[in-house]
Amino acid sequence: MDDLAKLCGLLSRSADYFLRTEQEENKTHVGVRLRAELSEVPHKSLSGALEEFLDYAELEFSETGDVPDLSDLEDEVAAKRVLAIAGTQEPPVDLDRLTRALHIPVIAWSFPDALSALLADTEEDGFVIGVNRWHHLNRRRFSIAHECGHAVLRHQAGFYLDFTDVDPFGDPRKSRYKDERAANGFAAALLMPRAWLRRDVKNGLNDAATLAARYRVSEEAMSFRLRNVKLG
C-alpha cells in the first residue's frame, strides 16, 4: 500500500486507476489530474460537485479526443482557424456546432456560483467542458469559448477551473496568468471576430449594446473588444 501511495503521487493517479476491474479497462477516465487534487479544495460543496461532474462525464462520454492542436498559433489566429473548422461565418457563433466540430463535449452542471466553468483532460488526449447551468447565457458562452481556448492551445495545467472570484486552489498554481490571458483573447476573437466587427461597424452598427445583442455577449465584453480592435 505504501508503494501504491507513492505511485499515485508520482503519476498523479488515484488508487482506483491501478485497482480498476477488467470491465473498466476500456473506460475513458476524465479529469485524472483534477481528481488527484480534489482533496485540496477547502470547500466541500465545490469538491463534491466536481467529483459528481467527473463521474457523470465518464459515464456519458466514453470517447473523446481528436481535438485540433493549434498550440503553434497565436490566440487570435487560432480562433479564426476554429471558426473555419466549424464552418461559422456570421454571428452569433453557434457554440453547440463549434464544440461538436472540435470533439469537445460540453455539460451544463449545477456548480456552486463561484465556479463558472471547467476544462478537464482525459486519458485519450481529449477534453470535457463543464459550465455552470445557473449563470447568464452570455457568461456561459464566454466561459465555454474560454475553455475551448485552453484545449486547442494545449495549455499544460491538465485542468482549468474558471472562478468568478478567488481560486480555492490558490493562485497562481493552477491559474496561470499567461494561459488565462491567451484563453480570454481566444474567446473574444472567437465570439467577436475582428473582421465581422469591422464589417458591422462599416454598415453602421457601431453601438456596443446593439452589437452585444447581435453577438450574444455582454455589453462589457463587447465594449472591451471594440476598444481592443480599435473600433470604439
Distance in angstroms (rounded) separating the CA atoms of residues 98 and 31: 22
In a domain, 232, yes or no: no
91 in a structural domain: yes
Q: Is residue 220 part of a domain?
A: no
Using the structure block, give the residue that is written with the C-alpha cell 466540430: 101
> What tens-digit pLDDT sequence spans the chain (232 residues)?
888 888 888 876 777 767 765 445 556 688 888 888 887 777 788 889 999 999 999 888 755 568 999 999 999 999 999 999 999 999 999 999 999 999 999 999 999 999 999 999 887 778 999 999 999 999 999 999 999 999 999 998 878 999 887 666 655 445 578 999 999 999 999 999 999 999 999 999 989 999 999 999 999 999 999 999 998 7
Tell me whether residue 19 is in a domain: no
Nearest-5° Cα angle at 190, 148 to 111? 40
Q: What are phi and psi of 216, to 5 degrees?
A: 55, 55
Q: What is the pLDDT of residue 200?
A: 97
Give the global pTM.
Answer: 0.84
Residue-range definition of the domain harbouring residue 152:
29-191
- Is 210 domain-assigned? no
- The pLDDT value recorded for residue 172 is 46
Is residue 118 assigned to a domain? Answer: yes
How many Å apart are CA 169 and CA 153, to the nearest integer?
22
Per the structure, the count of domains in the chain is: 1
CA 91 to chain CA centroid, nearest Å = 20
What CATH number did the domain enclosing 143 receive? 1.10.10.2910
* Residue 216: inside a domain: no
Domain for residue 48, yes or no?
Answer: yes
